[in-house]
Structure 1
Amino acid sequence: MLLAADVGNTNVVFALFEPDGKGGFDTRARWRIATDPRRTGDEYAVWLLQLLGIEGVSRDEITQIIYASVVPRADHNLTVLAQKYFGITPLKAGEGKAAWQFEIDVDQPSSLGADRALNILAAHKKYGGDLIVIDFGTATKFETVDYNGTYKGGSIAPGINLSLDALVGKTAKLPRIAIRAPDSKSVIGRNTEDQMLIGVFWGYVAMMEGIVERMKSEIGRPAKVVATGGLAILFNDATDIFDEVDADLTIEGLAILAQQSA
């Protein structure tokens, strides 16, 4: 079995993959833990080995480990986890045998984050054609991928929770509210909390729709829009720009990369 870990700024997602008998893979389990660069390999092991046990999987069944990280301070501890508790030297996405096998056609190819590269890889493998990939995380990333799988560039915007934190943190009287879809499509709120929710939510929808429209115009060919990340489902009913909502795109990219690296 393959154990994959995607280290993001907010959470670390672990996933367990097993062969599907057709040259692909099935997701056996998926777990999430808050990102903390101080968490040691031993601490990861206590948590992870218990979850594997609940799933009925022994550590000996893990034959390959791969991880991607946008938090460099976490890398060492994940390596310790893999080597000490599984006896495996892990692959790191984007390096060595797990180097990206697609063209990165931008000014600074080395600056492309691992999470973004995995989305590009998985989206091209699963959906093909010209693509716009939107990843809703701490930041919201828009990527353009051509029909050959070449990364052509993108844009980065503050995530919706970052936008809300800035609004609340820089004002004296505005209350903290939870992000959710407003009860109606009206953009005229009748109280402060509703007005904040409308401004943040519908303002974000308008931003997404505007960027996607401009990207499609620049691409000049029909492009499928694939949304991923924890907040993608929040916007799915508020806009018709998404052709696919694929919550597991990033972690499945790790499984695809591990197969390519075997």
Structure 2
Amino acid sequence: MFFHDCFVRGCDASVLLNTTTNSTAEKDAGPNRTLQGFDVVEQAKAAVEAVCPGIVSCADVLAMASRDSVSFQINRSAWKVQTGRRDGLVSRASETAGNIPGPNANFTSLLQNFQSKSLTLKDLVVLSGAHTIGVRHCSIINRRLYNFTGKGDTDPALNATYAAVLKSQCPPGDAVATVGMDPGSSVSFDNQYYQALKQGKGFFQSSKIVGKLLLGSSDFLTEFGQSMKKMGAIEALTGAAGEIRRTCAVVNS
């Protein structure tokens, strides 16, 4: 969710805003419809507001929640979060286009997308490691499994055994079922994701190229934290810009 927030209008918690009668919000755009955890962020914000009202922004709560979700997995603080962000006032679904890369984006377009946010090739590769945990809907990979070139074929870059497993979990046309993005390790935050890519077990089409660039590193967690801090600074609102929302789903009245 933090990535989806930062890549549209910067890290301003605009992805948390609800749709209004005047505007469809980012969270209701196609690339964001599968995002979950909005209620968890809202609960965290409410707990903070009860202690120090009007001080901690939703943007900072989201940044810290992202860090803590990793810290919980590794039983220690993953990285230090720089705070001081303020919350944006605008959220438009139309702005996700061109900012949130699609699941079938090729490596060139992914790199251009990251570079437009002042992130590097290394950041792209390292942040792709976030896919080591979590699930995605089968609709994302259905084309690669059943109709890769429009002839009812399977993407040859997929490991045959892995493709068979995915087909058993993702029937043709199923848009509801989910599957782990890191086979065998989708509930653990580790560098196993890169080893899976090496074996042709990448969920996304661009994964096969990412896997050739970085297969794993003993410093993965350190590098991941550094790239997350860089991403967390994208177009952050500070000073008098924006506001400190009282609740994350709506702007202050």
Structures share fold, TM-score greater than 0.5: no
Higher relative contact order (CA 8 A, sep 6+): 2
**Highest CA radius of gyration, 1 or 2?**
1
For normalisation by structure 2, the TM-score amounts to 0.30
Structure number having the greater strand percentage: 1
